Structures are given as structure tokens and as C-alpha cells.
Amino acid sequence: MVARREMLARLISLENGKALPDARGEVAYAAEFFRWFSEEAVRINGDFSLAPSGNNRIMVQYQPIGVSVLITPWNFPAAMATRKIAPALAAGCTVVLKPATETPLTAYAMAVLMEEAGLPKGVVNVVTSSKTGKLISAMLHHPKVRKLSFTGSTQVGRILLREAADQVINCSMEPGRQRAIRRVR
């Protein structure tokens, strides 16, 4: 990402209207999530401790949770995606990234860069659709999906939590305020 900073910054600027200097900053910030979590990946060990009774030892082993569905907003198309992808990859999970409908090209470009960097095909998957609700619902009802990470409106977050509850999917939610849409006539 750092080597392709200018290309990604221009894409972000064209795709969502962000000023080019701000887009460059976002790319640098986004790349930092990969650096940080790649260093943390080697620290995912386990723990041994003594049971409260004192008679046994307890072993905690960390394992990948499984397929993670990651839903990102339009306003930080690179940074929000890498903030979700990097920890999932560090933990050994495959991901399905559903970028905002307004900013899919940044997600596709980053997926290509990850493959060029050596990530095997199928580990990071970018999915877009004009029928987002049906797409996400189908994913959340797939038995291999075990994690949902969402950043977006509170209204959509509520819907996703209801959908995820059917399969008892682990959820990380970052809902914002519902945007007021004012119609000008």
C-alpha cells in the first residue's frame, strides 16, 4: 500500500471526493493497520494458569473464529477496510468485505494489492451488490460465517444484529448516528 500510495489516494479522491492530501493521509493510516497487526500476529499464543482449586492447570488456546463478514462505510474506504481486515488476517480468519456501495473500487484495488503481496486467493473476498440487504442476510445465515464487524448507521446496525442473532454470530458493532436526509424540492 505504501508503494502504491499515490494510485490509491487518487482512487479514493475520485471515488468519494476526498481532497488528495487527505486521501494520501488515509492511505498511510490504512497501511499502518497492516503493519501493526502483522507484528501482533506472532504474539497470539495461549496461556497456562492454575485452576482455582489448585489441583489442575488450565490451558487457553487461541484459534481463528472462522469466516468474518466485514461491512465498511463510504467515508474512509481504505482505513476502515484495513482496520477490519488486518486483525482478522492476523488471527487466521478469512474475510468477506462488503464495502459501501459508493466506494467499491478502493476495496477491489486493495484486494489486488493483497494478492500481489502474496495473500492466497480466497482469503480476502470483496463482494458488492445493489441488493445489499439480501446479500448480507444470505451471508449471515451461512453456517461458516462466525463473525460480523460493522461500521455504519445505528438503524442498519440494529437490522444486522437481528440477522446475526439467528446463527449466534459474534458481532463487533460501531454504529453511528442515523443520518438525517433532507429532501430539497
Longest dimension (CA), the chain: 74
Share of the chain above pLDDT 70, in %: 95
pLDDT for residue 156 is more than 70: yes
Does a structural domain hold residue 185?
no
Question: Is 49 exposed, middle or buried, given 0-12, 13-18 or 19+ CB atoms closer than 10 A?
Answer: exposed
Angle at 42 between CA 36 and CA 44, to 5 degrees: 100
- Give the model's pLDDT for residue 179: 55
Does a structural domain hold residue 183?
no
Does a structural domain hold residue 182?
no
Does a structural domain hold residue 38?
yes
Domain that holds residue 11: 5-176
Domain count within the chain: 1
What CATH number should be reported for the domain holding residue 71?
A: 3.40.605.10
**pLDDT digit string, tens, across residues 55-92:** 999 988 888 999 999 999 999 999 999 999 999 999 99
Does a structural domain hold residue 184?
no
In DSSP terms, 94 is beta-bridged to none
Does a structural domain hold residue 181?
no
Does a structural domain hold residue 79?
yes
**pLDDT digit string, tens, across residues 128-155:** 988 889 999 999 999 999 999 999 999 9
The H or E element that residue 169 is part of is none
